[in-house]
A and B are shown apart, each in its own frame.
Chain A
């Protein structure tokens, strides 16, 4: 096919893209030289995960199209109505080993089966890790391979209340077969990775005056001839003080990192603050252009967070097993999912209020945020109708609508494929090729 002859818009349409992603495409293919901008538009991707299924009746809008309504769970996102795209009728159709929680989680971003293994869930056969890479890491690899989109870290993976264990319920990002990527689930660890050990340095500096006093006291009690080492020691303390005051690891960044509170423990009850901190750090890392891809994982599949801050003392996963007729559980699960929507709203607001450095518009204009879940519904454990709420204009999709992804049984692999295409990486298939029938979704 002679690509130079075809109509530009229709070509893009075929690829499932709008003109917003054009600059990236044109860079990689050099097809549309006259449109090539001097500086490519940045594209960023954030995937936010919350577990244990949603409450469909209080989640999905009834109406398809621009005037979709926000039911209880999506109410907090109303201010972003025009920047949202709610994808309906997408199903995780990956079969094979592993219970639904496991496949829900580990096939969510990989779209491929799990290896047979020995992790035994509540049903079905036991399984191991997935057989392939996840889409966030695929895009990360793609962006890092090119000089113009390469960033310091490329991708960052944040966790909130993720337990310290490694299994297919706890990981969603993968570098390839059998290669789980561990999220940074403590904001202090994330902070250290990004900005160096600033907290430790502050902590050390806070005791240096005491230390100098100590050195002096000890030295004064010693005979003159024994003081030499302590004098040297005092010089070292002064030197460290000066060095740590500079915060050397913080040079060459566009903006100061967020202020971290002292001593917030990585515990269940702190999940709300921990989550906000992770979001603050995430957005800050984007402002500093440390990465173009990020994931934000709340808890894990089968996660048992106890949301005391919502006056819910039951464990999340246990609650999600309750039948619909258990009104108390139903109402609590609605509150839990609404709370996640509020956290998403916080993230979106933050992105909206942050100008994209060096480019026009807000950071939300350059970012696509996807909020998803490993199950369609908690008590049925269904992998059908997986929640995919998209927000932000970064990938050139037409936003401000709810969208029915065709009448056929759509595998969610098609969405994963669309994401790759939107950054100019026109893969033919992603994950299990048989689940890519129809190619990328037409979201332009």
Chain B
């Protein structure tokens, strides 16, 4: 959440006993401010420790500020300052500091930070990937390749009967054969391909069958992930949990054996980080088999997210221990796989030399810089000796690399004023675009002195942008921006909405993410197109629930693109996932919807309520509409300081019920959608529905700016103002005017952030 923004927000606290008798006839705002307000807010609005400690800044128009001071300040006696006095004080505040946040900001600079969890995992995976090659899906045909055999038991493949692509593994053969013409008593099927999870996190895989099976997911050493080839013909379900990084393909293989069992069936499902179990849908499978990658299975403590984005500014013993275990895990893996990583084998005469070279490169890539001879001796050569087995030396080197501050604090060099160090830029490019380390290509270019001119670096930034890791990082941003990250799926009352299943909720989530992925990377949409959301991805389940006709096309994913207007949608905030995930189990929630819309779509700053108020159905007349109930609940002036925005932006969505279905009346009464919304310029706008709200949002500079800055923080994990040369105002204007697509925005932010402070070679 945007806590910092809340803190910046205007709040007047106690003013201590200053006598109001001596009010000057001429209303001097400054004098009145000093008299009534300064004791708590500071003489220059800077805040007072133990009173109101935050600066007096915000995005309200002056008219609203006057109204607020008039009605609520000073808060121990709101009658003390009223009318013209409130007017004078508010205008003084407004012109002198309320609208000038820069007055209160110390010139911040890039802070030393450790790798965040995401950066850590990406970096370690890519470190090993440098040697084995990145698994890439270059021929993305969806589904898994199935080889069907007539067989005699699990370990005898007698004769291949057929080969075909299966979209999902969900078969009930009963007492029949898998395919016509096969022996129904004895057969086996071997499915293989890749799985491409979209989000990072823990995935639990389940295989259910009365027959024998073996599941392997991303396995490079040891036996299968689930080994159940021995069977007693009893239906059972086995599971295994794995951490996977989103946006990367992993090899998957399912071997299935039926032998004489009376029944045959097989089902492959999973539970994704968002938590609902489902048959793995077709759009996650690809027929191409990629090599396995190393993915750390170590649990890492959560990063500090108090500023609205994850950053590595804190360390403690839990983190130290967790990263130590992660380093150990990686070191043992490296020891076991050193021959493959170094491209050698135990019959190779140059084995030791090749393993040394691998180790040197590993340190080089992990530290993101060139090492001196002295350093190579210390980190690599000193670890080898004749009485230590080779793999122990490799383990030590990997452990040293991953525990070192040179690996863990990726931007430390940038803080040492290395404005001509190409490694600094390369490090930042990889970090900002991918959350990872520079790849081999970047290293090669630096070594060949081809990475110091602006066109070199910009060209490489473009290459990085087109790598799937950029897409994965942007996906991660949107999960956060859309309030989806680590959130449960919307779960509505089965009594009120019996047809709103968890499967539908999963489809809605997928629909939104699929659209974002396609529209940003393939159609290169702009900010306004993003907000307006003209197309929607629709599954069969969605079509049936929302009453649409569904014509399946050839693609295996089960999603087709439709005009959003067919679904009566008027913008991103009317996507049924967003509506349903911002609802109560039985009713729409204008407050939740309003908060989301005000913050994300309109870029407004909201502070958390002074005290939490629980909304309780039972407190209200059941015949009232939600609008009436919320209006009643938030009518106090204190509440209304923010709820005027929240309620307005939530009430315009009341023509959608909790499931996101359109409605025109509630309990026989037509819905009143009209609201008055006070924008950040102090202009009162009349919205007659969600369409008007979006029309305003695409015109709002504030809206674009807020998005640009939030994306930037997500890319760099640093405060916006740490980067001297980036003109966020201009970028926001370009975004608003459609001169930059969102994809280009990602590029600009990553490139400008990475090269900030670097002096290009002319």
Contact = CB atoms under 8 A, between A and B. Distances in A.
Interface in A68-104: none
B514 interface: no
A331 interface: no
A263 B233 contact: no
Interface residues of B, number: 53
A126 B154 CA distance: 9
A221 B416 contact: yes
A203 B328 contact: yes
Contacts of B379: 210
Contacts of B487: none
A64 interface: no
B317 A263 contact: no
Interface stretch (B49-57, B81-89, B252-260, B282-290): B252-260
Contact of A116 (B233, B324, B400): B233
A239 interface: yes
Nearest to B114: A229
Interface string B311-351: 00101110011001000100100010000000000000000
Given A167-B229, A214-B405, A226-B111, A119 B155 contact: yes
Interface in A248-298: 262-265
A237 B335 CA distance: 24
B111 A262 contact: no
A145 interface: no
A154 to B, nearest CB: 25
A206 B112 contact: no
Contact of B212 (A119, A211, A236): A119
A120 interface: yes
B412 interface: yes
B227 A115 contact: no
Nearest to A210: B400
A120 B155 contact: yes
Contact of A120 (B154, B232, B234, B331): B154
A222 B416 contact: yes
Contacts of B156: 120
Given A166-B223, A203-B399, A263-B391, A118 B328 contact: no
B414 to A, nearest CB: 10
Nearest to B404: A214
Contacts of B222: 164
A218 interface: yes
A223 B415 contact: yes
Contacts of B258: 118
B320 A128 contact: no
A232 interface: yes
A323 interface: no
A55 B727 CA distance: 85
A207 interface: yes
B223 A165 contact: yes
Contacts of B232: 115-117, 128-129, 177-178
B317 A118 contact: no
Interface in B204-236: 211-212, 222-223, 227, 229-234
A67 interface: no
Interface string B141-161: 000000000001111100000
B320 to A, nearest CB: 4
A233 B315 contact: yes
Interface in B405-452: 405-406, 409, 412, 415-416
Contact of A118 (B111, B261, B324, B389): B261
Contact of B154 (A119, A203, A265): A119
B211 A215 contact: no
Contacts of A126: 152-154, 259-260
A222 B412 CA distance: 7
Interface string B579-619: 00000000000000000000000000000000000000000
A240 interface: yes
Contact of A218 (B154, B313, B320, B406): B406
Interface in B222-276: 222-223, 227, 229-234, 257-261
Given A118-B211, A236-B315, A263-B389, A206 B233 contact: no
A164 B112 CA distance: 45
Nearest to B316: A236
Interface in A161-180: 164-168, 177-178, 180
A218 B395 contact: no
B453 interface: no
Contacts of A218: 405-406, 409, 412
Contacts of A427: none
A200 interface: yes
A118 B315 contact: no
A117 B262 CA distance: 11
Nearest to A229: B112
B404 A211 contact: yes
Nearest to B403: A211
Contacts of A180: 230
Highest count of chain B CB atoms <10 Å: which of A119, A168, A221, A262: A119
B396 interface: yes
A203 B388 CA distance: 13
Nearest to B390: A263
Interface string A28-61: 0000000000000000000000000000000000
B456 interface: no
Contact of B388 (A165, A215, A262): A262
Contacts of A129: 230, 232
Most buried by B among A128, A177, A180, A237: A128
Nearest to A128: B232
A265 B221 CA distance: 14
Nearest to B233: A116
A363 to B, nearest CB: 32
Contacts of A177: 232
A117 B212 contact: yes
A233 B233 CA distance: 55
B326 to A, nearest CB: 12
A239 B335 CA distance: 27
A427 B378 CA distance: 65
Contacts of A206: 396
Given A118-B154, A120-B155, A229-B112, A210 B378 contact: yes
A437 interface: no
Contacts of B673: none
Interface string B647-678: 00000000000000000000000000000000
Contacts of A215: 405
A232 B316 CA distance: 8
A65 to B, nearest CB: 43
24 contacts: A116-B232, A118-B231, A118-B257, A118-B261, A119-B154, A119-B155, A119-B229, A120-B153, A126-B153, A126-B154, A126-B260, A129-B232, A164-B222, A166-B223, A203-B399, A214-B406, A222-B412, A226-B112, A226-B412, A226-B415, A229-B409, A236-B317, A262-B389, A265-B391
Given A221-B416, A239-B320, 11 more contacts: A116-B260, A117-B232, A118-B257, A164-B222, A166-B230, A167-B230, A204-B403, A210-B400, A218-B406, A218-B412, A240-B321
Interface of B: 111-114, 152-156, 211-212, 222-223, 227, 229-234, 257-261, 313, 315-317, 320-321, 324, 328, 331, 335, 378-379, 388-389, 391-392, 395-396, 399-400, 403-406, 409, 412, 415-416
